[in-house]
């Protein structure tokens, strides 16, 4: 995902500069300091307003995404609108539990005492979103920030201008603008925002820009959540229901924004022996889904803009892979469309294998034994997601144990995104931190430790003058063992 990529534009005569950003942050700090965002009622009111916004304006949201990405309405409704509604419902249902102090045990060193962990809002937070799922990736983090009791600034991506404009209008109409604001714009506005001191920055995009965000955050020691991407692999065994597997791979690749998704399958690894059968099955199902001329299909999103179209064209034109295309490869620059494309036995040192594809191209690598796929995956940066299709119990266990990725799915693709009880986030170069469900609430909360004591049990052992007996007792107390304390009292070794 990307917001500041080669296709970004620089704002001309922007009215939103660093002083304007500073004033905005100060206004929100004043609102936060008033305590209003901390109240349970305010959080519930804003979450209900957000749910109502999404429900009442479904046609406008579908239309905006159609304009920005030619996204099929079903994808918008299923993967953006429905998921946002569910996030709101989960937060509203669970909020009282989330904000309740968590009672924890204490140690003998603090006896008698009680303790709890209190979740408190961080303060004023910045959410910088991406263009490929512009409603979901903008508002899902905002739900967590509101649930946790923060004031929020949302910077949507200008690469999806219709959606950005609609969000700015709707949040202005529905939400408490003294605490929740939208800043539209491009590089200049984003840069102005990043100059400010925030209490947390949540960025969805690519690794290059994430380094810029992290560097800006480091100046103020601001914590970050970075939702990035990477080359998400799919390992395909031969002992599977091939039709189901291919349909699920296609749904995760081309049914998710035509491959323009951070968790879309980026490449397949299978055995040399099984590859022809897998390719044939993929061809069959692709034709069923998108017809003989997929460039005319209304069920495939277009490439977001000409820069990304040309980037993908460059991957296909690489001498190392141009003769590896076994299906698809058709392009229509006027429509910004590329057909679902399969490439077999792509060299691992080719351009298409050196970066996240983020489009409708799917390379297939082959190995002699499927276990070799683990070496291939682990030789690169840790991906945001990794998938395996197999009925082999031992292989599943080896995959889970040996593959480090943000999330794993066995016998499907991308569906972990919809399970709010699972954390969604990356590891290594695929991201920092996680969200969804309570993990979103936690991402925007500080876990404050609180210890309660009375005035009884004031042991003299902690005060001077220090003696050898006191030293033995303190060591035993800190160690927490009753037997150790008894031995210390009686001078036993």
The residues that bridge with 450 in the sheet, in sequence order, are 116
DSSP state of 462: G
Question: Is residue 179 annotated as part of the catalytic site, yes or no?
Answer: no
Rounded to the nearest 10 degrees, the angle between the axes of helix 482-489 and helix 468-479 is 170
> How far is 474 from 468, CA to CA, in rounded Å?
10
Q: Among residues 88, 158, 262, 356, which one is catalytic? A: 262
> How far is 74 from 91, CA to CA, in rounded Å?
24
- Tally of residues, the chain: 493
Task: Report yes or no: 300 and 290 within 8 Å, Cβ to Cβ.
Answer: yes
Q: Which residue has the tokens 């990736």?
A: 137
Q: Among residues 51, 80, 158, 227, which one is catalytic? A: 227
Q: 426 — phi, psi (to 5°)?
A: -105, -175
Task: Report yes or no: 113 and 140 within 8 Å, Cβ to Cβ.
Answer: no
Q: 156 — phi, psi (to 5°)?
A: -75, 165
Question: Is residue 227 annotated as part of the catalytic site, yes or no?
Answer: yes
H-run or E-run covering 44? helix 40-56
- State the maximum Cα–Cα separation within the chain, in Å, rounded to a whole number: 89
Residue 87: how many other CB atoms lie within 10 Å: 27
Task: Report yes or no: 21 and 224 within 8 Å, Cβ to Cβ.
Answer: no
Residue 443: how many other CB atoms lie within 10 Å: 23
Q: C-alpha 352: how far from its chain's center?
A: 23
Q: 448 — phi, psi (to 5°)?
A: -90, 125
CA angle 88, 94, 98 (to 5 degrees): 115
> How far is 161 from 158, CA to CA, in rounded Å?
5
> How far is 315 from 355, CA to CA, in rounded Å?
10
Is residue 421 classed as helix, strand or coil in its secondary structure? coil
The residues that bridge with 344 in the sheet, in sequence order, are 364
Is residue 155 classed as helix, strand or coil in its secondary structure? strand
Name residues whose C-beta falls within 8 Å of residue 123's C-beta, 6 or more positions apart in sequence.
Answer: 29, 32, 150, 151, 199, 200
CA torsion 340-344-349-352 (nearest 10°) is 0
The residues that bridge with 366 in the sheet, in sequence order, are 270
Residues tagged active-site: 227, 262
């Amino acid at each position: 995902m990307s917001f500041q990529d080669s296709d970004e534009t620089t704002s001309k005569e922007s009215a939103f500069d660093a002083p304007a950003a500073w004033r905005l942050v100060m206004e929100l700090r004043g609102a936060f300091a008033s305590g209003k965002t901390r109240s349970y009622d305010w959080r519930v009111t804003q979450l209900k307003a957000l749910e109502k916004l999404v429900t009442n304006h479904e046609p406008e949201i579908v239309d905006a995404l159609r304009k920005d990405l030619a996204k099929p309405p079903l994808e918008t409704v299923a993967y953006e609108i429905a998921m946002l509604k569910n996030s709101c419902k989960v937060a509203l249902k669970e909020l009282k539990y989330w904000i309740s102090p968590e009672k924890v045990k204490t140690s003998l060193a603090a006896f008698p005492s009680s303790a709890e962990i209190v979740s408190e809002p961080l303060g004023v937070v910045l959410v910088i979103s991406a263009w490929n799922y512009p409603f979901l990736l903008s508002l899902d983090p905002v739900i967590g920030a509101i649930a946790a009791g923060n004031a929020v600034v949302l910077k949507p991506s200008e690469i999806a201008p219709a959606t950005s404009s609609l969000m700015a209008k709707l949040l202005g109409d529905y939400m408490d603008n003294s605490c929740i604001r939208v800043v539209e714009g491009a590089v200049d506005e984003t840069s102005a925002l990043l100059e400010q001191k925030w209490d947390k920055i949540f960025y969805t995009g690519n690794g290059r820009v994430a380094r810029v965000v992290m560097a800006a955050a480091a100046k103020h020691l601001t914590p970050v959540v970075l939702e990035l991407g990477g080359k998400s692999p799919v390992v395909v065994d031969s002992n599977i229901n091939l039709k189901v597997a291919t349909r699920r791979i296609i749904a995760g690749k081309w049914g998710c924004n035509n491959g323009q998704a951070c968790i879309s399958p980026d490449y397949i690894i299978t055995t040399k022996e099984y590859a022809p059968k897998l390719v044939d099955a993929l061809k069959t199902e692709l034709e069923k889904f998108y017809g003989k001329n997929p460039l005319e299909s209304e069920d495939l999103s277009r490439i977001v803009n000409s820069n990304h179209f040309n980037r993908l064209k460059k991957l296909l034109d690489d001498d190392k892979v141009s003769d590896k295309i076994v299906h698809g490869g058709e392009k229509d620059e006027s429509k910004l469309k590329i057909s679902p494309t399969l490439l077999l036995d792509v060299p691992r040192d080719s351009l298409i294998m050196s970066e996240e594809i983020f489009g409708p191209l799917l390379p297939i690598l082959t190995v002699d034994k499927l276990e070799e796929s683990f070496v291939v995956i682990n030789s690169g940066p840790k991906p945001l997601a990794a998938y395996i299709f197999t009925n082999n119990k031992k292989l599943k266990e080896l995959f889970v144990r040996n593959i480090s990725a943000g999330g794993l799915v066995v016998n499907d693709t991308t569906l972990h995104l919809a399970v709010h009880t699972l954390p969604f986030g990356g590891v290594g170069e695929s991201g920092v931190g996680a969200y969804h469900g309570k993990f979103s609430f936690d991402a925007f909360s500080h876990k404050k430790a609180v210890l309660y004591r009375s005035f009884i049990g004031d042991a003299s052992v902690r005060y001077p003058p220090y003696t050898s007996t006191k030293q033995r007792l303190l060591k035993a107390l800190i160690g927490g063992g009753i037997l150790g304390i008894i031995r210390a009292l009686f001078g036993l070794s």
